Amino acid sequence: MKKRLLKFWGISLLCVGASSLQAQFPRSPVNPDSAGRGSKIYASNCARCHGDDARGTASAPDLLRSLAVLHDRREMLYGKELGPLLASGPNHNFKFDEKQLADLSQFLTASINGILRSGYNAQPTNLLSGDAKAGEAYFNGAGGCNHCHSTTGDLAHVGKKYAPAALQQKFLFPNYGLFIKHKVQVTVKLPSGKVYKGDLVRMDDFTVALQDESGQYRSFNRIPGTTVTTTDPFAAHSELLDHYTDDDIHNLTTYLETLK
């Protein structure tokens, strides 16, 4: 499974914390007429840099992975937060009106919906369809999970503590959701040389936001000359996203669920 799709599901599933499963898989309806108009706006203004399929090129990032676009889609903002980025972001100077932004948002929403393997389900399915023995082998072998975790220590009875869906999300995206104790740290160095540090709040291809130790929220445009460095306590989990197969995920979930 591709990392970008995994990340998408992680954001969709976990940012809602303890909400119901129905809320964890919110539907993002698309108006075909609006999306059609948006596709023309995209083709005329965006495709040259971001690619015909919005998946990015060597000169511009993948919009289907952009947290700004994903947030717009998930919250059904219809381009309200994309407008300022398109007007004043690096290499952007587009003055779209509200209707055009909504159409463009609908086109991007439809494009993201199109890459989902099976569309939205109200309930996660087949989470425990894996092989527990294979999951145990992965835990102690290729996955390297036993380097940091112990099934008789921090993971003892973990299968009893969490439902399968939550359990799977815990190892796929441990840095998303509520009540995270160890947050990603970020250091932003501006072209002026001024440096800001704190807990990472949000970062995408265009902006980065943090909360410093005094609690103040700060947001920066990632203009040329800006350096952003992150320290992720869950880096090993993120690294695995590039290597997991679907079988690995199902096997590991099934194995961890047996740890009652």
Q: What's the pLDDT score for residue 27? A: 54
pLDDT band at 180 (very low <50, low <70, confident <90, very high): low
Average of pLDDT values for 34-60? Answer: 90
Which pLDDT score is estimated for 242? 84
- pLDDT surpassing 60 at residue 19: no
| pLDDT score recorded for residue 9 | 42
CA distance 104 to 41: 7
Distances (CA, A) of 195 to 108, 218, 228, 240: 34, 12, 10, 31
Instruction: Decide: pTM greater than 0.75.
Output: no
CA 137 to the chain's CA centroid: 28
What mean pLDDT is predicted for residues 48-56?
Answer: 89
Q: What is the pLDDT of residue 232?
A: 86
Rounded Cα–Cα distance for residues 62 and 82 (Å): 15
Structure tokens at 56: 């990015």
Confidence of residue 195 (pLDDT cuts 50, 70, 90): very high
Q: Among 20-24, 58-62, 76-80, where is mean pLDDT lowest?
A: 20-24
CA 87 to chain centre: 24
Residue type (1 letter), 242: D
Angle at 255 between CA 252 and CA 260, to 5 degrees: 135
For residue 58, the model assigns a pLDDT of 81
More reliable by pLDDT, 115 or 131: 131
Give the pLDDT band of residue 28 (cuts 50, 70, 90): low
**Given this model, what pLDDT does residue 117 score?**
57
Residue 124, token pair as written in the block = 């996660």
Grade residue 177 by pLDDT with cuts at 50, 70 and 90.
low
pLDDT band at 181 (very low <50, low <70, confident <90, very high): low
> What pLDDT does residue 170 have?
86
| Residues 119-165 pLDDT 10s | 555 556 778 999 999 999 999 999 999 999 999 999 999 999 888 98
Q: Where are the beta strands (DSSP E) in 177-240?
A: 185-189, 195-203, 207-211, 217-221, 227-231
Which range is least confidently modeled, 93-97, 125-129, 199-203, 218-222?
Answer: 125-129
- Confidence at residue 25, expressed as pLDDT on a 0 to 100 scale: 44
Considering only residues 181 and 195, tell me which one the structure prediction assigns the higher pLDDT: 195
Question: Mean pLDDT in the chain?
Answer: 83
Highest mean pLDDT among 22-36, 43-57, 109-123: 43-57
Q: Report phi then psi at 258, rounded to 5.
A: -80, -10
pLDDT tier, 103 (very low <50, low <70, confident <90, very high otherwise): very high
